[in-house]
Amino acid sequence: MNPGLKLFLILIISLEISLIPNLIANIIIIVASLSYLAFKHLSLKKLLLIFLIPLFAALVVFITIYYFTPGHSLYQASVLFTRIYAYIFLGATFTETTSVLALARSLEQNFKLPSKFTYGTLAAFNVIPKIHAEVNRIRLVGDMRHYHLSFYSPILYFKAILAAISWSNSLAEGMISHGYREDKARSIIVPITLTKKDWLIFSSILILLQPILFFIK
């Protein structure tokens, strides 16, 4: 499925389940997402991590709603519990099967996102490992000087911001030197198609979901 259209589909479904409390719909979304991830050969380790990471938060929400609200509604507690997992697994169906590069190209080519936002997004994602390495380097230098910088230290983030500003200037100069111009049309090296099949899948999933959301409780 087209990456950009897949993103919009997930956002629409997430918005609908946030507005409509429906336990059956949440369970169906979770099962469908799990089936899709299994079809895409996602490893069992990753599936377990996706399940375990939000478990504490989901249990806290369930206990809070069931034990500490006047109604003690098991249904509402279950809805909120499964809704968290529906969000998580919907997100996983996108993040585990779609690359950031493909999404950026799709948004630029198929949905007319300005190229400056496309390349800015790609630059931000690609610089994340470098930021992580820089933060570790700053903390190591601090330790060598017997000055420990904790993760909440303002000095740590101030130094990291200064480094990021320097990288942004270097990145802008590099893009200009490679011929990038914001106001000029760019050639397409890897085309991302948006076909009738993509629209058919998109509309079919939404159409099938509506009766479940509104009529099946």
How far is Cα 14 from Cα 10, in angstroms, rounded to an integer? 6
- Residue 115 or residue 36, greater confidence: 36
Q: What is the pTM of this model?
A: 0.83
How far is Cα 104 from Cα 97, in angstroms, rounded to an integer? 14
Same domain flag for 88 and 9:
yes
pLDDT of 77 higher than 90: yes
Name the residue range of residue 19's domain. Answer: 3-98+192-215
Q: What is the pLDDT of residue 182?
A: 67
**Structural domain total, the chain:** 2
145 domain residue, yes or no: yes
Angle, alpha carbons 212-98-102 (nearest 5°): 125
**47-55: long-range contacts at Cβ-Cβ below 8 A with a sequence spacing of 24 or more?**
50/88, 50/89, 50/92, 51/85, 53/88, 54/84, 54/85, 54/88
Is 106 within 8 Å of 50 (Cβ atoms)?
Answer: no
Same domain flag for 65 and 147:
no
33 domain residue, yes or no: yes
Q: Which of 86, 82, 79, 107 is nearest to 7 (CA)?
A: 107
Q: What is the pLDDT of residue 178?
A: 65
pLDDT of 7 higher than 80: yes
Place 16 in a pLDDT band, splitting at 50, 70 and 90. Answer: very high
pLDDT of 187 higher than 80: no
Q: What is the pLDDT of residue 74?
A: 92
Same domain flag for 92 and 10:
yes
Give Cα 93 to chain centroid, integer Å. 10
Q: What is the pLDDT of residue 197?
A: 94
Burial class (CB in 10 A: 0-12, 13-18, 19+), 15: exposed
